[in-house]
Each structure stands twice: as C-alpha cells, then as structure tokens.
Amino acid sequence: MNVLDMKDPAFLKQLSEKELSEVAADIRAFLIDKLSVTGGHLGPNLGVVELTLVLHQLYDSPKDKFLFDVGHQAYVHKILTGRAGQFDTLRQHKGLCGFPKRSESIHDCWETGHSSTSLSGAMGMTLARDLKGTDEHIIPIIGDGALTGGMALEALNHIGHEQRDMTVILNDNEMSIAPNVGALHNMLGRMRTANKYNKAKEDLELLIKKVPAFGGRLASTAERVKDSLKYLLVSGMFFEELGFTYLGPVDGHDLHDLKANISYAKKTKGPIIIHVVTKKGKGYAPAENDAKGTWHGLGPYKIESGEVVKKPGPPSYSGVFAETLKTIARSDDRLVAVTPAMPNGSGLDKFAKEFPERMFDVGIAEQHATTMSAGLAAQGMKPVLAIYSTFLQRGYDQLVHDVCRQNLNVVFAIDRAGLVGADGETHQGVFDISYMRHLPNITLLAPKDENEFQHMLYTAVNHEDGPIAVRYPRGSGLGVPMDEELKELPIGKWESVRTGKDAAILAFGTMMPVAEAAAELLAAKGIEVEVINARSIKPLDEEKLSEISESGKPILTLEEHALQGGFGSAVLEYYHSAGIHSIVVERMGIPDWYIEHGSVPELLEEIGLTASGAAEKVQKLIPRKKQRA
C-alpha cells in the first residue's frame, strides 16, 4: 500500500494480519528511505511499527487517546494519521514536528518531548473522562527508558491507587538512548524471560490433574502454590502489587500476540499494563544491531551501507567537554561525572572509557542526578553533572533546595544551552539563565568559544565557593586554536574584545560572533562600538558596568536566551539598584514565545537575533549627528 494514501487510520479496521504485515513493511521502507535524507529518530520508530498499527486498528483515535511518552517514536502514528506526505519536512523550519503536536492533527491529543509525562497526562485524562461520564479509552505508550523517570513512578502509584480503566503500553526494547540502566531495567529483563514461569505453571497443573482431587482443598492449595510460584518467578508482580493487571511479555512484532493481548485489555476493567517487548531499529540491520544508541536519533545516512553522513568541522562542545574532563580527572580524583541518561549526547561515554568507575548514568532521572550530585559534594567529591539546559528544568527544586541552598560545590555542565534546532520547542535551552541567576550562591558562566570553554570548565572544577554552572551550545565550536595548558579564568570579569566610543554590545557564548559582526557593520557607518564578552552572567562585572555608565555609551545586550529574566534583565536590575537611571540599555534575545523546530540559523533569522538586527538596534541608539551619512 502506498504510505502516502494513508489518510485516516480507519483503513486498518478491516485488514487481516497478513495485510497488516504488508502495511508494516511499507511503513518501514518509507521510514528508512525518508529519514536517510532528513535524519530523525529512526531506531525508536522502526521498533513500534506493528505496535502502532495494532493500536490504531483496535482503538478509535481520536476518540480514544494515545499518549506517546517522549514522543520521538510517533512517526508511525503520524503516517497513519495522514501526515506521510510531510515527512520531507521532518523537524525542519515550518515543517513536520518530530514530536506529537496538537496543532498538527486531531489525533495528537498530548504533546511530549520531555520524558516520563505520558502516565500523568493519561491519569488526568482518565479522571476527566470519569467525571464527565464519557467512555473513551486512554492509552499511554511509555518506553523502558521513560519508565525510569521519577514522575512515571509517581503516576504508576496513583493510577494503581485509583483503579480506573486505563491501558498502559510498556514498550520495552532494553534501550534508553544508550542501553537502559537501573534496577527497573533488570526487573523488566526478568519479566522478558518469564516463560519459565508459564512452563512451571503448566507442569504444576498437569501434576494436579494426575492426583485424584481431594475436593476444592487441593485445588485452592494449588492456586496458592501457583500464585506464590508466579510471585517467585515473574517479577511482573511489581506491577500487580501496584494494582495493575500485568499482561506480558508480549512479542511487539507479532501481530497476533499484540492483537490478542490488547483486545483482552480493552475488555478488562481497571488499570492494565501490557509489557510489549520490541527491538529498537527493527527491520534495518544497522539500527537493529546498534548497541550504543547511534541510531536512536541521527542525521542523514546512506541506506545501503548504514554510513552516517558526517559533516566535517571543528570539535563539538560535548567533545571538548569530554576531553577536558579527562585531563582534569587525571590529576583530580575527587572528580565524578554524572549523566541522566545522556552518556552519548553529553560526551561522557568517552569519559567513561578512561574512568568507568567515576561516571554514573542514573537513567532518565534529572531530579535524582541533581540531588545525588549534592550528596557527592557534601562528602568532598567534585561532581560534574552533565545535563542539557532543557532537562535541568526537571531538577529545579533539587537545584534550589539541595545544591544552592546548601552551597555545595556541584559543577553543572549545561549542554545544549541556547537554541538546539530540530528538536524544537520542548528542547530549546533558553530558560536556564532565568531559572538559575536569581538563586543565591550560584555562579553562572558562558564561554565565547571552545578554547575559553576548556578553561572555564577547569575554573569551574577548581571553584570551591559553591555551585557553578557553565552553559554551552549544541554542536561545534568556532574552530579556534586550543591552548595546551588549562588555566583559571577570573570569575566576575568580562573581556573587552573590541573598543568603541559610541556604544557597547554586551554578549556571551554563541552571540559573540554576532556582536562582532554587528560592530563591523556599524563601523562601516562610522559608529564605533565596544564589544564585551560578558562571560560571567552571575556575578556580573559590576566594575565594567559602572565604567560603561560613566562613559555614557548606550548598551545593547545580546543573548540566545529568553529575554524575560535573562542576562539583559540582570544588567537592567544592576543599573536600577545602583541608582543609575540615565543609561540607555536595549536588550535582544528570545522573545516571549516557544521557538519551534528548524535550523538554528533559520530560527535566529526569524526572531531577528542577527548581526544586522543588532546593528540596526544599536544604530537607533546613536544620535543622528554622530552617524556618517
């Protein structure tokens, strides 16, 4: 069947299992082909083709609600709901979103991107259904990785308590991005090999049949023995003890097995969890055999060879992070690295190769990672928590309550700070300055390039005066030379990289090249602008700020961060508190809305965070008479 003809999932209703398997093959071929050009989350989606087909065959979306946890595995759902024709624009500017998007389709009832939210969302929808007296089915689909997220466990606890009708699909492929970790993962492993319980149960039943019955006594004893056997052999009892009916393990690529169990669940009262065992990357050998997590989410690749198309260029910030951390760790055995399930993306997988005993992947557990780091620091270790800006949002109270308030020496390596591009709204790292700079005791730094980054990281690890964060962007550096020796940078001291008498641009991180380019544009108009690398966001360089105000130069602050409460706000607050009201401060940054997916240059262009935009803004601050015609 032509995938592009799939407009409404109702077409699945009358298909036989054979026809369904043909549709599955067509969808797999489509995904492998399309994503070889656009990139995307190929592995997760190849793993849920049969599952998504059966779900849409047996349930009636959009009346019945599918909540895809994380949502990176919703491409099959998007194909079945009429969006196959948009896959050439996947994760591109104004194109198809890589995650469920309510504005895209009535079949997308719940938006995700951050992990472990589906069960809570589903519980809310279940309560709403029961309070309204409607009868739709609520079906969260959560992966084994997402299940390690704390809020998923909070939700399981409540769902089990409420005993309302809901079918949870646990998509267990033994992988998070990298191989999954944790005791839950091990427990699921025991469940995956549960058929030994079924064998033992059959043997027991055979035995009972051979012994002449002593009435119900033997039968009821046998039942108790069977139950305790189940308890002993099948840790699926974990879910049963929480109040769920556990079904599984179910082969997630066997249409018949899937249909039988999901049909049974549809008819069963109360909370059900169906443990579906799938293979990430199923149907495409390079992805199927991926033990590291390369095929979880990736750029374009060559279908025949499975070769990922590599863009040449300077080292990535994550790569510099890993190398620098290894250098520091060789002479500082206090250093311990922590990641919440992002070993590959953060670069800590490379650190772990040299220091396996000093790197901890705690699963998708940002709250735990943050407070565990506090515990490490409380005992004199030097924890470096590598965490994406957007995911640290999940550990905010732990940042406040456990790290900053106790003034513990935790280093936050805040990766993916700034716009991240293709992952869009849920992943843009544009709020961390706002949610960190108001916290007493925190120090917040941002490097202008990868060379300053290595020094900044070294400075942060040697900082013994409380928590310190270094925020840095996704992707490559500027290709600047790297110093051989690491050195400490002065915290609270900015760097003037260009002099100018007419105005000053305060920028940091990725906005430094933009500021310098703007200064060049302005120089062509006879406007001399000082460019300052405001690399210490907290504390500010108050000496420099008062020096600028004495010069009377207007200021433009430039940040790839939310304007609300960002760096520019900090500068305004400083001048206000210092009683300096005469100075002109203009701010440029991320406007007060969520920035969708697209390439970072396109997104910056769209919001005017460009050299020409900055130059235009500064020009308006300069009296006409000072400007060359």
Ligand X SMILES: Cc1ncc(C[n+]2csc(CCOP(=O)(O)OP(=O)(O)O)c2C)c(N)n1
Catalytic machinery residues? 280, 366, 394
Q: Which of 518, 525, 527, 520 is nearest to 622 (CA)?
A: 527
Backbone angles phi, psi at 385, to 5 degrees: -90, 110
Please, what's the b/e burial string for 171-182 (b: 16 or more CB within 10 A of its CB; e: otherwise)? bbbbbbbbebbb
Work out the number of other CB atoms within 10 angstroms of the CB of residue 552: 10
Residue closer to Mg ion by CB (options 295, 494) is 295
**What x-and-dash track marks residues 94-123 binding ligand X by CB under 6 A?**
--------------------xx--------
Cα 49 to its chain centre, rounded Å, is 22
- In the complex, minimum distance from the CB of residue 413 to ligand DXP, in angstroms, rounded to a whole number: 14
Work out the number of other CB atoms within 10 angstroms of the CB of residue 342: 25
Of the candidate residues 119, 175, 583, 618, the single one contacting ligand X (CB under 6 A): 175
Cα 126 to its chain centre, rounded Å, is 26
DSSP for 513-565 reads HHHHHHHHHHHTTT--EEEEE--EEES--HHHHHHHHHHT--EEEEEEEESTT
Residue closer to ligand X by CB (options 426, 459) is 426
Which single residue brings its beta carbon nearest to Mg ion?
A: 143
| 261: its two tokens | 């169990």
- 279 part of the interface to ligand X, by CB under 6 A: no
Residue closer to ligand X by CB (options 192, 525) is 192
Of the candidate residues 52, 61, 73, 92, the single one contacting ligand X (CB under 6 A): 73
- In the complex, minimum distance from the CB of residue 366 to ligand X, in angstroms, rounded to a whole number: 6
Angle at 118 between CA 117 and CA 123, to 5 degrees: 105
Gap between the Cα atoms of 427 and 555, Å rounded = 30
Gap between the Cα atoms of 213 and 200, Å rounded = 20
Q: Tell whether residue 284 is among the known ligand binding residues.
A: yes
Q: Tell whether residue 145 is among the known ligand binding residues.
A: yes
Gap between the Cα atoms of 509 and 448, Å rounded = 4
Residue closer to ligand X by CB (options 171, 389) is 171
- 261 part of the interface to ligand X, by CB under 6 A: no
- In the complex, minimum distance from the CB of residue 332 to Mg ion, in angstroms, rounded to a whole number: 35
The option from Mg ion, ligand DXP, ligand X, none interacting with 391 (CB < 5 to 8 A, set by class) reads: ligand X
Of the candidate residues 40, 100, 143, 566, the single one contacting ligand X (CB under 6 A): 143
Q: Tell whether residue 569 is among the known ligand binding residues.
A: no
Q: Which 394-423 positions form the footprint of ligand X (CB under 6 A)?
A: 394
Cα 551 to its chain centre, rounded Å, is 44
Q: Which residue do the tokens 């703007």 mark?
A: 518
Length of the chain: 629
Of the candidate residues 64, 108, 136, 144, the single one contacting ligand X (CB under 6 A): 144
Question: Do the strands 585-590 and 382-388 form a parallel or antiparallel pair, or are they unpaired?
Answer: unpaired
Gap between the Cα atoms of 225 and 45, Å rounded = 41
Gap between the Cα atoms of 424 and 420, Å rounded = 7
Query: What is the total count of residues that contact Mg ion (CB under 5 A)?
Result: 5
The option from Mg ion, ligand X, ligand DXP, none interacting with 364 (CB < 5 to 8 A, set by class) reads: ligand X
Of the candidate residues 44, 140, 473, 566, the single one contacting ligand X (CB under 6 A): 44
| 283: its two tokens | 């149907």
Of the candidate residues 109, 177, 335, 518, the single one contacting ligand X (CB under 6 A): 177
The option from ligand DXP, ligand X, Mg ion, none interacting with 44 (CB < 5 to 8 A, set by class) reads: ligand X
Gap between the Cα atoms of 246 and 115, Å rounded = 22
Q: Which amino acid is at 424?
A: G
- 145 part of the interface to ligand X, by CB under 6 A: yes
Q: Tell whether residue 449 is among the known ligand binding residues.
A: no
Backbone angles phi, psi at 258, to 5 degrees: -65, -50
Cα 115 to its chain centre, rounded Å, is 7
Q: Tell whether residue 409 is among the known ligand binding residues.
A: no
Q: Tell whether residue 137 is among the known ligand binding residues.
A: no
- In the complex, minimum distance from the CB of residue 342 to ligand DXP, in angstroms, rounded to a whole number: 7
Q: Are 7 and 80 in contact (CB under 8 A)?
A: no
Q: Which of 541, 564, 568 is nearest to 555 (CA)?
A: 568
Q: Tell whether residue 235 is among the known ligand binding residues.
A: no
**Strand-pair partners of 414:** 387, 471
- In the complex, minimum distance from the CB of residue 61 to ligand DXP, in angstroms, rounded to a whole number: 22
The option from ligand X, ligand DXP, Mg ion, none interacting with 474 (CB < 5 to 8 A, set by class) reads: ligand DXP
- In the complex, minimum distance from the CB of residue 146 to ligand X, in angstroms, rounded to a whole number: 3
Which single residue brings its beta carbon nearest to ligand DXP?
A: 345
Of the candidate residues 159, 175, 181, 456, the single one contacting Mg ion (CB under 5 A): 175
- 143 part of the interface to Mg ion, by CB under 5 A: yes
- 362 part of the interface to ligand X, by CB under 6 A: no
- 156 part of the interface to ligand X, by CB under 6 A: no
The option from ligand X, ligand DXP, Mg ion, none interacting with 394 (CB < 5 to 8 A, set by class) reads: ligand X
Percent helix, strand and coil across the chain, each to the nearest 5: 45, 15, 40
Q: Are 474 and 427 in contact (CB under 8 A)?
A: no
Q: Which 287-326 positions form the footprint of ligand X (CB under 6 A)?
A: 296
Of the candidate residues 144, 257, 415, 423, the single one contacting Mg ion (CB under 5 A): 144
* Piece in contact with ligand X (CB under 6 A), picked from 169-177, 509-517, 546-554, 559-567: 169-177
- In the complex, minimum distance from the CB of residue 47 to ligand DXP, in angstroms, rounded to a whole number: 14
Q: Is 599 exposed, middle or buried (0-12, 13-18, 19+ CB in 10 A)?
A: middle
Binding site for ligand X (CB under 6 A): 44, 47, 70, 72-73, 114-115, 143-146, 171, 173, 175-177, 280, 296, 341, 364, 366, 391, 394
Binding site for Mg ion (CB under 5 A): 143-145, 173, 175
Annotated binding-site residues for Mg(2+) read 144, 173
